[in-house]
Amino acid sequence: MLVYEYMPNGSLDTFICSQCDFYPSFLICLVWRRRFNIIVGVARGLLYLHRDSRLTIIHRDLKASNVLLDRKMNPKISDFGMARTFGEEQFLEKTKRIVGTYGYMSPEYAVDGIFSIKSDVFSFGVLVLEIVCGRRNREFHHPDHHFNLIGHAWKLWVEGKAQELIDEQMEDSFPLSEVMRCIQVGLLCVQKCPEDRPTMSYVLLMLDSESATLLPPREPGFYLERIPYGKSIIINRAEYSANEISETLLEGR
């Protein structure tokens, strides 16, 4: 049995999806200041897990539905059923059993089973982009391309149109420079190579200080266009249909 402090505002997942049919009045609550406070709160929670707790803790399943919101909309990271602890001299680990949620997994973990604090940083980056955009990564669709939200954000960034990523539900007046800084931080966190991603301590510095230097982000992980349903692909002159599946256990049985 898990006993949690009561969280009257449920999970962040309810607020992120701008097309949610349930409790549409909730969307009014997510003004930019609340969104930014949630981003910073989750960052502080991850920093505690990675650096300030007695053991280094890798969450491995950070996502919107695992961020609970209290009465004042303060975020609390929940669901540590997949978490792993590291020793003092341990920096990464490899597993044959891939667990977690696709769309938030880092490339090195989803493909090779390698996880570290940088795996959580990747998940945090996805979460930041979702909070800014108001859309879920895996459910994101655009009429002009077949990228997920990460790919769409990177495409806009390269084209100098990152401002278009901002949720249309946002209030009319908000600090644009702060929102753009969050977009850049999110893209820095989802970079393909773990070595390029910042630590959570530097993420907090970038979020809290306007004087902090932000490097230009590099290409993110999973920057590939999806093949839409109903389309087919040609492999060795043979035609196959393309379907999207999810795997949570990559072991032979």
Alpha-carbon distance of 16 to 138, in angstroms, equals 13
For residue 171, what are its two tokens?
A: 């209030």
Alpha-carbon distance of 172 to 193, in angstroms, equals 36
Q: Give the number of other CB atoms < 10 A from CB of residue 160.
A: 7
* Percent over 90 (pLDDT), the chain: 57
User: Is 248 part of any domain?
Assistant: no
Alpha-carbon distance of 192 to 190, in angstroms, equals 6
Q: Which segment of 59-73, 150-164, 204-218, 237-251 scores lowest on mean pLDDT? A: 237-251
Catalytic option among 13, 21, 61, 172: 61
Angle between helices 117-133 and 176-189 (to 10 degrees): 140
For residue 115, what are its two tokens?
A: 């996880």
Over 80: is that where the pLDDT of 117 sits? Answer: yes
User: Is 252 part of any domain?
Assistant: no
CATH number at residue 222: 1.10.510.10
More confident of the two residues 172 and 48: 48
Give 24-61 pLDDT, tens digit per residue.
Answer: 444 445 889 999 999 999 999 999 999 999 889 999 99
User: Is 141 part of any domain?
Assistant: yes
User: Is 3 part of any domain?
Assistant: no
Give 10-28 pLDDT, tens digit per residue.
Answer: 999 988 864 444 444 444 4
Q: What is the average per-residue pLDDT within 186-196?
A: 97
**Strand ranges (E), 50-100:** 56-58, 67-69, 75-77, 84-86, 92-94
pLDDT value at residue 30:
82
Over 50: is that where the pLDDT of 244 sits? Answer: no
pLDDT value at residue 228:
62
pLDDT value at residue 246:
44
Is 79 annotated as catalytic?
Answer: no
Alpha-carbon distance of 53 to 45, in angstroms, equals 10
Please give the tally of structural domains in the chain: 1
User: Is 253 part of any domain?
Assistant: no
pLDDT value at residue 100:
86
DSSP assigned state of 216 = P
| SS3 state at 234 | strand
Q: Which domain holds residue 82?
A: 12-241
User: Is 156 part of any domain?
Assistant: yes
Q: Give the number of other CB atoms < 10 A from CB of residue 20.
A: 14
| SS3 state at 75 | strand
User: Is 183 part of any domain?
Assistant: yes
Alpha-carbon distance of 75 to 192, in angstroms, equals 27
Give 79-92 pLDDT, tens digit per residue.
Answer: 998 999 987 777 88
User: Is 5 part of any domain?
Assistant: no
Q: pTM score, two decimals?
A: 0.84
Over 50: is that where the pLDDT of 6 sits? Answer: yes
